Chain A
């Protein structure tokens, strides 16, 4: 039973570029959340998708957008990349509200 899978593992981009990160949830999970973790900090909630809709959003600008597909997988898109977007991007999936979320290995994004 595959857990949460994310791709790519690492990515290097330059300022101003755009990036797309991908996530497949754990089997049986229908909700996908995205988090940004800067070095030395806890993960910060970006947004959550359920039934292909953005259900909740954290304090992130509109440059951060996402999508959920009918098979529950999800994408995170970031436009106009800034140096400060360098971080570990984590995807987590869950089944239902208030259930523990399970994290993927993350995508490490570096902006030059």
Chain B
């Protein structure tokens, strides 16, 4: 079983749609969780950290369910510029980041 699993997609959604990505992780001792965004042939960029109580940043909402070892990202009112690969990331201890393979999002007009 992979340490971090994501649906690779692609998710094709129209502008204005709401889309949700899910991710599961295997190490119950993991303490830190993040979503990164990666554009084609670019470096990953931190989108947001994920906190136990859930957190929101504008149109983006992240949730963590420790009991189910599950992380989600919700994007509301999708924009064309949201098209990218979204990487679920778990801190595997001492700053070792473990990445999922990413979920590709394509927003169309």
Interface residues of A (CB under 8 A from B): 31, 33, 35, 40-45, 48, 55-56, 58, 90, 92, 94, 97-106
Question: Which residue of chain A has its CB nearest to the CB of B42?
Answer: A105
Q: Are A100 and B99 in contact (CB under 8 A)?
A: no
User: B residues 12-28 with Cβ under 8 Å of A?
Assistant: none
Question: Which residue of chain B has its CB nearest to the CB of A31?
Answer: B95
Q: Are B101 and A41 in contact (CB under 8 A)?
A: yes
Interface residues of B (CB under 8 A from A): 4, 31-32, 34, 42-46, 49, 87, 91-102
- Given known contacts A90-B44, A98-B32, is B91 in contact with A45 (CB within 8 Å)? no
Chain B residues near A43 (CB-CB < 8 A): 44, 87, 97, 99
**Which of B4, B95, B96, B102 has the most A CB atoms < 10 Å from its CB?**
B95
Option from B43, B46, B91, B94 in Cβ contact (under 8 Å) with A90 = B43
Q: Are B101 and A42 in contact (CB under 8 A)?
A: yes
Option from B31, B32, B97 in Cβ contact (under 8 Å) with A92 = B97
Q: Are B43 and A105 in contact (CB under 8 A)?
A: yes
Chain B residues near A98 (CB-CB < 8 A): 31-32, 91, 95
